[in-house]
């Protein structure tokens, strides 16, 4: 997977923070805002990736109505894509999908990392 937007944003943020390394008074506030922006970008990119994955799967059926339905459903479903929503949606497609995802993600470092990002995103929205 390519994360060009995220990688570019990280590089730009690092450059800006490097420019403030001399102890500028606005440094901590700028750093906080950059982190907030990065967290929101990561969540947004992840939402798009989840949606695209479900749509690609639906496209394999070559049924335009089904693809349109799945596209609309996931666009509403994953505005705040916690692991529970993903697991539940996979379960609608079949128990095997849900089971495989659960075994790979639940109670693993990936879930903890994602939960932390979602908590940070929620905090920045407040």
Mean of all residue pLDDT scores within the chain: 86
Which residue shows structure tokens 């666009």? Answer: 75
H helices of 20-63, where? 27-59
Query: How far is it, in rounded angstroms, from Cα 43 to Cα 47?
Result: 6
Instruction: Determine how many CB atoms are found less than 10 A away from the CB of residue 92.
Output: 9
Range of the domain at 22: 4-125
Q: What pLDDT score was predicted for residue 83?
A: 86
Burial group, residue 96, by CB count within 10 angstroms (0-12, 13-18, 19+): exposed
Decide: 38 and 10 in contact? Cβ < 8 Å. yes
Enter the pTM of the model: 0.74
- Name the domain count of the chain: 1
Instruction: Determine how many CB atoms are found less than 10 A away from the CB of residue 34.
Output: 17
Q: What pLDDT score was predicted for residue 40?
A: 87
Query: How far is it, in rounded angstroms, from Cα 78 to Cα 52?
Result: 11
Q: What pLDDT score was predicted for residue 23?
A: 66
**What is the rounded average pLDDT of the residues 14-28?**
75
């Amino acid at each position: 997977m390519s994360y060009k937007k995220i990688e570019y944003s990280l590089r730009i943020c690092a450059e800006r923070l490097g420019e403030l390394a001399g102890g500028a008074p606005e440094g901590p506030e700028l750093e906080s805002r950059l982190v907030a922006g990065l967290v929101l970008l990561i969540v947004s990119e992840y939402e798009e990736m989840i949606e695209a994955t479900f749509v690609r799967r639906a496209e394999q059926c070559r049924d335009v109505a089904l693809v349109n339905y799945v596209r609309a459903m996931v666009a509403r479903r994953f505005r705040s894509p916690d692991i529970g929503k993903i697991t539940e949606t996979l379960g609608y497609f079949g128990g095997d999908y849900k089971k495989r995802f659960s075994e790979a993600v639940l109670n693993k470092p990936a879930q903890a990392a994602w939960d932390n990002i979602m908590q940070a995103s929620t905090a920045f929205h407040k």
